[in-house]
Amino acid sequence: MTPRRLFAALALMLSGCASAPQNYPSLAKRPIESAPVADVAPPPAPQPADAALSAEIARHVEQADKGAAAFDTAYARAERAVSAAASAGVSSDAWVSAQVAISTLESARNDSVSALASLDTLYVQRSNEVADGKAAGGLQDIDAARSAALALVDQQNDRIDALKTRLPQP
């Protein structure tokens, strides 16, 4: 940078510092900020789910468990097929068999994924009913079942992804 440009830039920056003092707002507390705060009532204790909701939650949990059992059964077959195809070439008979076994495995977990989706829908519906005052409680029970189903589906996803990474990619 030339000295002339440097001097001009420096003059511009210093002129900003030399301007007339401004009356900026004070950062001191205002009177309204020192007013006493009203006590807030704690939220009501969560209410347990009613019998019909508990039965519906149990049905979805049972469906997720059924899907997990089917997945575990299909996983053993898929594991063997992937092990046999790990060193095989893409599009070989062993590789195609492993891909079919993985597809069967993904299909076997359908009950678990469906149960998770049903629990998600149930949670949203119940949340809306509670917000509208049409129902009380049950959200914690649905959320606990939903969290368990989500963990199950995530574990299944991880196991499928691990099998897929062992196969040669096209």
> Going by C-beta distance under 8 Å and a sequence separation of 6 or more, which residues neighbour residue 106?
160
Q: By residue range, what is the domain housing residue 130? A: 51-164
- 117 within some domain: yes
pTM of the model: 0.68
- 29 within some domain: no
**Domain total for the chain?**
1
- 160 within some domain: yes
Separation CA 86–CA 98 (nearest Å): 9
Tokens of 123: 């949670």
Three-class DSSP category at 109: coil
| C-alpha Rg value of the chain to the nearest Å | 31
The string of pLDDT tens digits covering residues 112-145 is 999 999 999 999 999 999 888 888 888 899 999 9
Amino acid at 63: Q
DSSP code of residue 23: -
- 111 within some domain: yes
| pLDDT band at residue 45 under the 50/70/90 scheme | low
| CB-CB neighbours of 113 under 10 Å | 17
